[in-house]
Amino acid sequence: MTILVTRPSPAGEQLVDRLRRLGKSACHSPLIEFAPGRELSLLPAKLAAMRPGDLAFVLSQHAVEYAHPCLQRAGLVWPATLRWYAVGRASALALHKVSTLPVAWPEGRENSETLLQLTDLQNLDGRRALLLRGNGGRELLASTLAQRGAAISYCECYQRSPVHYDGPQQSQRWRQLGIDTLVITSGEMLQRIYTLVPDYYRTCWLLKCRLIVVSQRLADQASQLGWLDIRVADNADNDALLRILQ
């Protein structure tokens, strides 16, 4: 088994390093990279507009990685008057590490659906909810919170952009490396590799690879694109990916 890890740096490189230390053959080709978000400079004002008891959601640890230096430059700290939530353990720990604040996150599957099951997110009449996120992404969390009475606002703290490859050349390289297992952690990256790889390599190589994904939603998307051998990790962090790859 030769594994292609496509998640961005540094998590992708860290996973490859751990796999190699276990004797696995693995390489890293990130499909997306990160940059500061277009609304990052507005974060201090957006937080200042929130009232005590309002809700703030961190949708990715990358949001924390870009937001924290922004607040530091403004001479501010993460406001303790808000109720803080994160979609997963990694983002919750990232926020707690820089703020020491309590952060609620869902047990079990780390996604918006599970987060929305929390008891204190059921009736939100009169509350404001600020979502710290990247560009684009799913709208399930925001739309459901709005249905439950919250007034929604966003802050784009970081941007995702595609890493550019020569499709035929990169596909040939991956195939020559003997890649037979792909680690894909988002729908954006799944569509990216499917589009990047030309028809010939897609048919004779890409769709024949075993695919490791991080949610049933992503598995369903992959199935519709033509993959047959799909495995779903129990979470999106490197520990969960390592377990399924072993």
CA distance 5 to 120: 37
Query: What's residue 54's pLDDT?
Result: 97
Q: Are residues 136 and 218 in the same domain?
A: no
Q: Which residues of 91-106 are buried (b: 16+ CB within 10 A; e: fewer)?
A: bbbbbbebbeeebebb
Q: Are residues 16 and 67 in the same domain?
A: no
Q: Are residues 146 and 196 in the same domain?
A: no
Q: Are residues 26 and 82 in the same domain?
A: no
Contacts of 6 (CB under 8 A, 6+ apart): 12, 29, 30, 31, 182, 183, 184, 185, 189, 193
CA distance 89 to 186: 17
What is the number of domains present in the chain? 2
Looking at the DSSP assignment, which residues form a beta bridge with residue 231? 212
Q: Are residues 147 and 203 in the same domain?
A: no
Q: What is the pTM (predicted TM-score) of this model?
A: 0.84
Query: What's residue 171's pLDDT?
Result: 97
Query: What's residue 108's pLDDT?
Result: 76
Judge contact between 11 and 238, C-beta under 8 A: yes
Query: What's residue 213's pLDDT?
Result: 97
Choosing from 114, 135, 161, the residue where a domain stops is 161
What's the CATH code of the domain at 228? Answer: 3.40.50.10090
Choosing from 133, 161, 189, the residue where a domain stops is 161
Choosing from 106, 141, 161, the residue where a domain stops is 161
Q: Are residues 101 and 175 in the same domain?
A: no
Q: Are residues 39 and 155 in the same domain?
A: yes
Name the DSSP letter for residue 23: T
Give the DSSP letter string of 48-116. HTPPTT-EEEE--HHHHHHHHHHHHHTT----TTSEEEESSHHHHHHHHHHH---EE--SSS-SHHHHT
Structural domain span for residue 75:
35-161
Q: Are residues 156 and 54 in the same domain?
A: yes
Query: What's residue 183's pLDDT?
Result: 98
Q: Which residues of the chain have pLDDT under 50?
A: none
Q: Are residues 72 and 144 in the same domain?
A: yes
Q: Are residues 41 and 155 in the same domain?
A: yes
